A and B are shown apart, each in its own frame.
Chain A
Amino acid sequence: MKARVRSEKLDHTPLVTAPDTVVEVILDAVSE
Chain B
Amino acid sequence: MIFPMNTREAMTIVMVHGAWADGSSWSGVIRPLQAKGFEVVAAPIPLTSLSDDIKALDRLLDRTSGPVVLAAHAYAGAVISATTNVRVKSLVYIAGLTPAEGETVAEVFYREKPHALAPQLAPDASGMIWMPDEGFGSAFAPKASPEQIALLNATQRPIAVACIQDPSPKPAWIDKPSWYLIAEEDRMIPVATQLIWRAA
Chain A residues in the interface with B (C-beta under 8 A): 1-23, 25-32
Contacts and interface: CB of A to CB of B under 8 A. Distances in A.
A30 to B, nearest CB: 5
Main secondary structure of the interface of B (DSSP, over half): mixed
Given A3-B93, A25-B94, A13 B69 contact: no
By size class, the interface of chain B is 35 or more
Nearest to B67: A30
Interface of B: 8, 11, 13, 15, 21, 25-26, 28-29, 32-33, 36, 38, 69, 71, 73-74, 89-95, 98, 139-144, 148, 152, 171, 173-174, 177-189, 197-198, 200
B28 A30 contact: no
A13 B107 CA distance: 21
A27 to B, nearest CB: 8
Contacts of A31: 8
A11 B173 CA distance: 24
A21 B141 contact: no
Nearest to A1: B197
A28 to B, nearest CB: 6
A22 B141 CA distance: 15
Contact of A22 (B94, B148, B197): B94
Contact of A13 (B32, B140, B178): B140
